[in-house]
């Protein structure tokens, strides 16, 4: 599927969704399946729309069906501003979040027209951010969007741009803040609510997960209220309900409504396949997964469907989709991290290390790759390398990930202790305590090390 909601295309959503990654101990993608399409980059305003790099369809207010062909290069929003609305350009989903994505593509650019002496600088900065994001140069993209935000704080495009690149890199707390700000700027934009719902369903190590999942459900319902024909909103509602432990007819109906609106919505079929399996309906599950694979024709969708497969331990099946995605978008950080995880699970350590190092190179401010590398090195008893990787993760860890990282340091500390290296074990335990002082067993372990 590949629509754009507000500032996001379905493929953009898919990317964000696909942007969900997991640490060695926790699954970063939703345990119930996440998306991997990241929200599209915001498009700059122009007097003449730029021709999309993908096949376009006639503009409609409702979500168009996915287009059969695309050049697989991340599409960029193309808009032509009018007094109060923007022209929507529909394109096939591509790659790229929370950032979740995740679709059929509707690229909608929302935001107040800029005015004043900084118009040209603002538009140039947003366009620079879009281009840098397409090229996976996230440091440059972030700098450009922040520059644009400083020039025009009330124009939502810079905010969406930041949210999108954070979601691309699984920087969920930062993505959440950006999308909450987007809602303040555009309270009637369905895409902002879908983006926030998606981020809230990521399994960060927060103590209030139940509250987050409840809010995710409410924001998905708000998106449906604003746009009743939004397939992605129904799919996200199903995900939120599943995470709340609701696997009844209501959840199934949400997924079925999504594919009713968008008959080739691969991600919704994957979610439906997982739900059917959880409910013991094996034949229906197999058929739903078959359709999910059949309709996975773009990078964001491939990543999102692979993510759902990994949530059910189907690593080999997910690997096939991820390799296909990387032949098209070789620097996609989500696909790289997910493939590295799958390879590690299958003990293909040499290739996994290569893949994860590339992911860290592409997205140096996302701690996911470093923790995955740390886990890989721990499994290979390369404890010094494991510690180095975790120390890199330490430089970019968010507040909600501190407990998760503490567990990684504790695990390496246990390995050092077992290897007869008490001094090293103490060092790792102390670091774990610094990250999470609530675990009394860490203090006890440290005291027992001789």
* Same CATH fold assignment for domains 10-342 and 350-448: yes
Cα–Cα distance for residue pair 262/64, rounded to 1 Å: 8
Q: How many CA atoms lie less than 13 Å away from 325 in the CB half-sphere?
A: 38
**pLDDT at residue number 118:** 75
Structure tokens given for 384? 């010094």
Q: How far apart are CA 273 and CA 214, in angstroms?
A: 23
Give CA–CA dist 409/413, Å, rounded.
6
Local confidence band at 170 (pLDDT 50, 70, 90 cut-offs): confident
**CA–CA distance, 171 with 397 (Å, rounded to integer):** 9
Residue 107 has a pLDDT of 33
Token pair of 400 as six digits: 């909600």
List, for residues 267-302, the tens digit of each pLDDT value: 999 999 999 999 999 999 999 999 999 999 999 889
- pLDDT tens per residue across span 366-408: 889 999 999 999 999 999 999 999 999 999 998 888 999 999 9
CATH superfamily entry for domain 10-342: Tetratricopeptide repeat domain (1.25.40.10)
DSSP for residue 29: S
pLDDT tens across 194-232, in order? 999 999 998 777 778 899 999 999 999 999 999 999 999
Q: What is the pTM of this model?
A: 0.65
Calculate ∠ Cα 297-20-338, nearest 5°. 70
At residue 63's C-alpha, the angle toward residues 57 and 64, to 5°, is 35
Q: What is the CATH number of domain 350-448?
A: 1.25.40.10
CB neighbourhood size of 148 (10 A): 29
| DSSP 8-state class, residue 399 | G
21-69 tens-digit pLDDT: 332 233 333 333 333 333 434 444 332 222 323 333 332 333 333 333 3
- What residue spans define the domains of the chain? 10-342, 350-448
Judged against a pLDDT cut of 90, whether residue 83 lies above it is answered with no
As a whole number of angstroms, the distance between CA 10 and CA 324 comes to 19
Q: d(Cα 113, Cα 98) in Å, to the nearest integer?
A: 26
Q: In 319-342, which positions are buried (b, 16+ CB within 10 angstroms) versus exposed (e)? A: bebbebbbebbebbbbbbbbbbbb
349-362 and 333-345 are packed helices; what angle lies between their axes, rounded to 10 degrees? 160
């Amino acid at each position: 599927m590949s629509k754009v909601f507000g500032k996001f295309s379905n493929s953009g959503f898919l990317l964000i969704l696909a942007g969900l990654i997991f640490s060695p101990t926790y699954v970063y993608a939703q345990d119930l399946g996440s998306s991997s399409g990241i929200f599209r980059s915001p498009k700059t305003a122009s007097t003449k729309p730029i021709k999309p790099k993908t096949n376009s369809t006639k503009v409609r207010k409702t979500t168009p069906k996915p287009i059969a062909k695309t050049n697989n290069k991340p599409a960029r929003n193309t808009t032509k501003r009018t007094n109060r609305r923007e022209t929507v350009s529909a394109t096939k989903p591509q790659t790229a979040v929370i950032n979740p994505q995740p679709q059929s593509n509707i690229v909608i650019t929302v935001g107040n027209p800029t005015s004043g002496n900084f118009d040209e600088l603002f538009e140039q900065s947003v366009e620079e951010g879009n281009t840098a994001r397409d090229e996976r140069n996230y440091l440059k993209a972030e700098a450009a969007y922040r520059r644009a935000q400083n020039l025009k704080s009330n124009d939502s495009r810079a905010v969406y741009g930041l949210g999108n690149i954070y979601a691309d890199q699984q920087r969920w707390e930062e993505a959440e803040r950006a999308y909450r700000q987007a809602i303040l700027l555009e309270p009637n934009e369905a895409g902002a609510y879908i983006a926030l719902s998606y981020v809230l369903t990521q399994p960060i190590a927060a103590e209030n997960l139940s509250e987050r999942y409840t809010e995710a459900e409410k924001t998905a319902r708000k998106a449906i209220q604003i746009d009743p024909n939004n397939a992605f909103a129904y799919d996200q509602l199903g995900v939120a309900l599943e995470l709340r432990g609701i696997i009844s007819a209501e959840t199934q109906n949400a997924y079925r409504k999504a594919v009713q609106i968008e008959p080739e919505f691969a991600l919704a079929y994957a979610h439906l396949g997982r739900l059917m399996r959880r409910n013991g309906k094996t034949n229906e599950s197999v058929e739903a997964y078959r359709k999910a694979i059949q309709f996975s024709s773009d990078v964001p969708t491939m990543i999102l469907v692979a993510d759902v497969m990994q949530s059910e331990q189907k690593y080999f099946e997910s690997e096939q989709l991820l390799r296909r995605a990387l032949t098209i978008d070789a620097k996609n950080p989500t696909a790289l991290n997910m493939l590295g995880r799958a390879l590690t699970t299958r003990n293909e350590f040499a290739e996994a290390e290569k893949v994860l190092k590339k992911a860290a190179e592409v997205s140096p401010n996302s701690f996911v790759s470093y923790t995955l590398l740390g886990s890989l090195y721990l499994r290979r008893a390369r404890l010094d390398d494991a510690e180095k990787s975790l120390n890199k993760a330490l430089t970019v860890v968010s507040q909600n990930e501190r407990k998760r990282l503490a567990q990684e340091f504790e695990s390496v500390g246990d390995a050092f202790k077992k290897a007869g290296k008490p001094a090293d074990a103490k060092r790792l335990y102390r670091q774990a305590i610094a990250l999470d002082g609530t675990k009394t067993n860490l203090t006890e372990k440290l005291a027992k090390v001789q």
